[in-house]
Amino acid sequence: MNKSNKALIGGIAVGLAGLAIARYVRDCNSGNKAEEIWTTANIPDLTGKVIVVTGANSGIGYEAAREMARKGARTILACRSLDKARVALEQIQSEIAGAQVEIMGLDLASQQSIRRFAYEFTSRYDRLDILVNNAGIMWTPYSKTEDGFESQFGTNHLGHFALTGLLINHLLKTPGSRVVNVSSIGHRNGIMDFDNLMFEGGNGYSRHGAYSRSKLANLLFTDELERRCRAINADAIAVAAHPGGSNTNLSRHVENLWFVRILRPLLEWMTQSPAMGALPTLRAAVDPAVRGGQYYGPGGFMEMTGYPILVQSNAASHNLADARQLWSVSEELTGVTFEVFDERTNKYQGVTR
């Protein structure tokens, strides 16, 4: 057993102990004060709004898309698998009469697919009220996207960075628009190493380390996007959310690991449903009280379960130098530039928040 696996197993053991305590505490006390309980009943009327949710065929994305469609939004399920997306579409339409839902193909591991999606969307719609950057992969073995990016960083961060950049003009011309980046409590273990950003050739790669880095990148991107929106006084905000511990298929790449098989019953017992896990994303997307740069997650012990509240990410996620360097590197890697910020701020110099 190599050092990385030992560290991973040790971390999981500690985490499981904490999760067990968290579940016990949650069972004894919901973790939220009565006045902090925010549910789907708090979602306002969304009639007339156009919303894109990536990875909306299952899990958090599906639950969020369904509830926004229930409130009248024109909701686009942006999914890699169109077969799975059709099933999700049929489920929503059968449950919600008159739901305005459609599917569009989007593979965030392919810059070509991202550009194709953006072209199709902007050709058909003249507004974008909410972009939910939800899709992602977790703890995959080392591999590369078709563009040569490490898969977790390429999908979870670079894919959404490019998508947002290609849709930014539609967002900025839509009053009160929002970008919601779905991160993870795993960001706390992320380390930005710009000298080996994507573990080239598998150098230094670990499944959990790469995932945590990609989730930290989501938050750095959120902060920098929000700063740039404020610099041009845009009527748009960037916010983030995390689902806590949710029982979704995001962990499908680790299901066959021996310790995961052994601990699966315990893991399922200690996590919450995708519907509960989607609430922080929904709140960040539609709550009128949300402000730019905020971060929402479950309000229970260790932010693993519970109803959504305003939470805090770690100090590394607010590192201004890292955020700006990540932005520059991401533009270079994807070829997607947010020219509107440069054009309207005389080569943006940045503002602090």
Residues marked active site are found at: 211
The DSSP bridge pattern shows strands 101-105 and 74-79 to be parallel
What is the distance between the alpha carbons of residues 209 and 315, in angstroms, rounded to a whole number? 18
What is the distance between the alpha carbons of residues 268 and 248, in angstroms, rounded to a whole number? 10
**Is residue 171 within 8 Å of 128, Cβ to Cβ?**
yes
What is the distance between the alpha carbons of residues 296 and 280, in angstroms, rounded to a whole number? 5
Q: What is the DSSP letter of 150?
A: B
What is the distance between the alpha carbons of residues 331 and 165, in angstroms, rounded to a whole number? 9
The DSSP bridge pattern shows strands 177-182 and 236-241 to be parallel
What is the distance between the alpha carbons of residues 322 and 270, in angstroms, rounded to a whole number? 34
CB-CB neighbours of 263 under 10 Å? 15
Tokens standing for residue 53: 């949710």
- DSSP bridge pairs for 45: none
